[in-house]
Amino acid sequence: MSIDPQPQFDLSFNNTLGVPARAAWYAELHEASDLPLLVRWAKEHDMAVRALGGGSNLVMHEQVSGLTIKVSIRGKTRIDSGSSRQRWRLGAGESWHETVVDLIEQGGSGVENLALIPGTVGAAPVQNIGAYGVELADCLYRVEAYDTQENQWRQFTREACEFGYRDSVFKQQENRFIITAVELDLDQEFQPRLSYGPLQELANLPDLNARDVLAKVIEVRQSRLPDPMVLPNAGSFFKNPVITSETYSALVKNHPNLVVYAQPGGWKLAAGWLIDQCGLRGQSNVDGVGCYEHQALVLVNPKRAPAASIQAWQALVQGAVLERFGVELEPEPRFWA
The Cα–Cα gap between 322 and 254 comes to 14
Sequence letter at residue 307:
A
Annotation: CATH topology of 76-146+179-224: 3.30.465
- Which of 292, 282, 166, 276 lies closest to 232, judged by CA? 292
Q: Say what the pLDDT of residue 74 is.
A: 98
Q: List, by residue number, the catalytic residues.
A: 166, 236, 332
The Cα–Cα gap between 94 and 98 comes to 8
The Cα–Cα gap between 200 and 225 comes to 20
- pLDDT digits (tens), the chain, 337 positions: 567 899 999 999 999 999 999 999 999 999 999 999 999 999 999 999 999 999 999 999 999 999 999 999 999 999 976 677 899 999 999 999 999 999 999 999 999 999 999 999 999 999 999 999 999 999 999 999 999 999 999 999 999 999 998 999 999 999 999 999 999 999 989 999 998 889 999 998 999 999 999 999 999 999 889 999 999 999 899 999 999 999 999 999 999 999 998 888 889 999 999 999 999 999 999 999 999 999 999 999 999 999 999 999 999 999 999 999 999 999 999 999 8
Pairing of strands 134-135, 130-131: antiparallel
| CATH 3.90.78.10 residue window(s) in the chain | 233-326
The CB density around residue 189, as the number of other CB atoms within 10 Å, is 9
| Contact status, residue 280 vs residue 289, Cβ threshold 8 Å | no
The Cα–Cα gap between 18 and 305 comes to 8
The Cα–Cα gap between 39 and 29 comes to 11
Q: Say what the pLDDT of residue 143 is.
A: 98
Q: Say what the pLDDT of residue 81 is.
A: 66
Annotation: CATH topology of 233-326: 3.90.78
Q: Say what the pLDDT of residue 62 is.
A: 96
The arrangement of secondary structure in 6-71, i.e. its CATH architecture, is 2-Layer Sandwich (3.30)
**What strands lie across the sheet with 85-91, from one edge to the other?**
76-80, 85-91, 177-187, 140-147, 152-157
Q: What is the DSSP string of 75-143?
A: -EEEEE--TTEEEEEEETTSBHHHHHHHHHHTT-BS-GGGTT--SBTTTHHHHT-EETTEEGGGTEEEE
What spatial distance separates the first Cα and last Cα of the chain, rounded to whole Å? 27
- Long-range Cβ contact pairs of 240-246 (< 8 A, separation 24 or more): 240/268, 240/269, 240/270, 240/271, 241/268, 241/269, 241/271, 241/274, 241/327, 241/328, 241/329, 241/330, 242/165, 242/266, 242/267, 242/268, 242/269, 243/267, 243/268, 243/269, 243/327
The Cα–Cα gap between 143 and 158 comes to 8
| CATH 3.30.465.10 residue window(s) in the chain | 76-146+179-224
